[in-house]
């Protein structure tokens, strides 16, 4: 009898597994490197003291430009990173669900979600972007091809501000690895410098991968 039950269970388990839908992958920005690639990119970054913030303004980075039709960059990321997102004729998100990777919180109102620049605009300014053209800064602020833009809980984004990983880390320790990989990728793509403290913090975060 026990043998029959065991055989029945063994046959039934794969059937149940096949019947259950696989969990939907959590949307995320493109271009997140592997740990090994991130470590190589980190070692290649130029270490330098943070530059001056003189002349910095968010207006120097023309952000939330029109991407397609009526949709700007913010609205595009909300649609990309949310599930079951419905929008108005003006492309404003009227409903949907967003899971913030920084803290794991779930939101159903777009007003509770900020679009975070992984490498903050101010940090970029102080690590090389002050010498860029207006077009280069616009491309950086609206980059949909690299892991620079993230839909996250608004007050968590505000807590981060313009701080680098040696000064601020996401509440979820399980996200440290991806956070470091994304930060390094953006700095590498745009040839931005890092401080020694920033490099040490990023290396420590990669150790959690």
Examine residue 20 and state whether it is found in any structural domain, yes or no: no
CA distance 164 to 37: 20
Does 14 reside within a domain? no
pLDDT band at residue 149 under the 50/70/90 scheme? very high
155 backbone dihedrals φ, ψ, rounded to 5°: -75, -20
pLDDT digits (tens, 9 = 90+) for 10-38: 444 444 344 444 334 455 799 999 999 99
Asked if residue 188 is part of any domain, the answer here is: yes
Q: Coil, strand, or helix at residue 84? A: strand
Please determine, for residue 126, whether its predicted confidence score (pLDDT) is greater than 90.
yes
136 in a structural domain: yes
- What tokens were used for 146? 């690299």
User: Is residue 193 in a domain?
Assistant: yes
Digit-coded pLDDT (tens) for 34-64: 999 999 999 999 999 999 999 999 999 999 9
Per-residue tokens: 182: 């994304």
C-alpha torsion angle, residues 115, 120, 121, 124 (rounded to 10): -150
CA separation, residue 49 to residues 86, 92, 140 (Å): 45, 41, 21
State the residue range of the domain holding 124. 29-206
Q: Domain count for the chain, please give it.
A: 1
Question: What is the pLDDT at residue 28?
Answer: 75
pTM of the model: 0.87
Q: Is residue 38 in some structural domain? A: yes
What digits encode the pLDDT tens for the residues 92-113? 999 999 999 999 999 999 999 9
Mean pLDDT computed over 160-186: 98
Longest dimension (CA), the chain: 80
Cα dihedral across residues 62, 139, 32, 106: positive or negative: positive
Q: Is residue 173 assigned to a domain?
A: yes
- Look at residue 74 and tell me if it is in a domain: yes
DSSP codes of every residue in 128-187? TGGGS-HHHHHHHHT--SSTTEEEEEHHHHHHHTT--TTT---S-GGGHHHHHHHHHHHH
């Amino acid at each position: 009898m026990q043998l029959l039950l065991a055989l029945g269970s063994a046959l039934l388990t794969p059937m149940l597994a096949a019947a259950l839908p696989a969990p939907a992958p959590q949307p995320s920005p493109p271009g997140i490197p592997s740990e090994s690639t991130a470590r190589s990119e980190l070692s290649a970054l130029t270490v330098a003291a943070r530059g001056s913030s003189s002349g910095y303004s968010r207006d120097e980075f023309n952000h939330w430009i029109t991407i397609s039709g009526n949709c700007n960059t913010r609205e595009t990321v909300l649609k990309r990173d949310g599930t079951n997102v419905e929008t108005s004729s003006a492309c404003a998100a009227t409903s949907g669900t967003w899971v913030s990777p920084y803290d794991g919180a779930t939101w159903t109102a777009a007003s509770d979600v900020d679009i975070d620049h992984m490498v903050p605009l101010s940090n970029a300014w102080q690590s090389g972007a002050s010498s860029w053209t207006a077009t280069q800064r616009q491309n950086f602020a609206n980059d949909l091809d690299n892991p620079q833009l993230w839909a996250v809980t608004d007050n968590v984004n505000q807590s981060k501000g313009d701080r680098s990983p040696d000064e601020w880390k996401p509440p979820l320790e399980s996200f440290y690895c991806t956070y470091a990989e994304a930060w390094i990728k953006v700095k590498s793509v745009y040839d931005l410098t890092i401080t020694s403290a920033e490099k040490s913090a990023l290396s420590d975060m990669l150790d959690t991968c």
